Each structure stands twice: as structure tokens, then as C-alpha cells.
Amino acid sequence: MTFKTASKYPFPKMKGASYLTDEPIRIDSLNTSMRRRFQGEGIQHAVPRDIRRTCKTLMGKAGLSKEIRDRIHNHTPTDVSSNHYDRYDYLTEKREALNRWGDMSHAIIQPGSNACLPQRRAS
């Protein structure tokens, strides 16, 4: 799937029928922007949670643990130990995980890059 925009943003701000390439959309405009962006690509229905779900799934494929993926997505652990005793912010682990995710994302977006995709498991 390729999008025909010169923007550095995946969802650039629009003015009339054209994209402004130097500005991102407002965060509360994501639903509308996704609908406009994907309609021309044959994707009938896409919502922001689809991006979140895909991101979390691909982070798992990149080898990131569920615990770190949950923390990156700001999901609150519900066990007693995490709620009451564990005050560590996991910033180092999240940063390391996001760097790995960045490498994988780059390999998806730029297939000829030096970044490596994880090997797929046989089905």
C-alpha cells in the first residue's frame, strides 16, 4: 500500500482538496483523516484503534514482551504488586523496546534498508 503525498506526516493537515505537507492534523481529527486517507486505497473502514492494534501486534512480532507492550500502550497492570508496590517507571525498558520497534518499522517502510525484520514462524 502506498500513499501519494510528499508529507513527512502519515496524516497531514488538509486545506481544501490538497494536503499541507508541513503540518500534522489535530489529534481529534484522526477519524476523519483516516477515512479520507484510506478510502482511495480500497480500505472501507479504518479507525484509530486499528493503528493501535496493528502496532501492538507488530511489536509482539518484533519480540517485545506483552508486559512492555502494555506499558508502552499505557495499560495499567491490575495485579496487587504492580498497583501498590512497583513504582518503577520502566522508562529504560520502554525506550529500548521502542528503539527495536523503530528499527522494525523502518524495515517495513523502507524495505531496502539495512534494518532486519524478525523471522516468521512456520504455520
User: Which pLDDT does position 74 carry in this prediction?
Assistant: 85
C-alpha–C-alpha distance, residues 56 and 73, integer Å: 8
Domain boundaries in the chain? Answer: 10-46, 48-109
User: Which pLDDT does position 18 carry in this prediction?
Assistant: 72
Poorest-pLDDT segment among 81-85, 88-92, 113-117: 113-117
* pLDDT at residue 119 tops 60: no
**Cα–Cα distances in angstroms (integers) from residue 15 to residues 38, 73, 116, in the given order:** 18, 31, 38
Beta bridge partners of 15: 18
Q: What is the mean pLDDT of the chain?
A: 79
User: Which pLDDT does position 97 carry in this prediction?
Assistant: 93
Q: Which of 53, 6, 14, 8 lies closest to 30, judged by CA?
A: 14
User: Which pLDDT does position 78 carry in this prediction?
Assistant: 82
User: Which pLDDT does position 104 carry in this prediction?
Assistant: 84
What confidence tens digit (pLDDT) does each residue in 93-114 have?
Answer: 999 999 998 888 888 777 766 5
| Count of CB atoms situated within 10 Å of the CB of 116 | 9
C-alpha–C-alpha distance, residues 103 and 113, integer Å: 10
User: Which pLDDT does position 69 carry in this prediction?
Assistant: 93
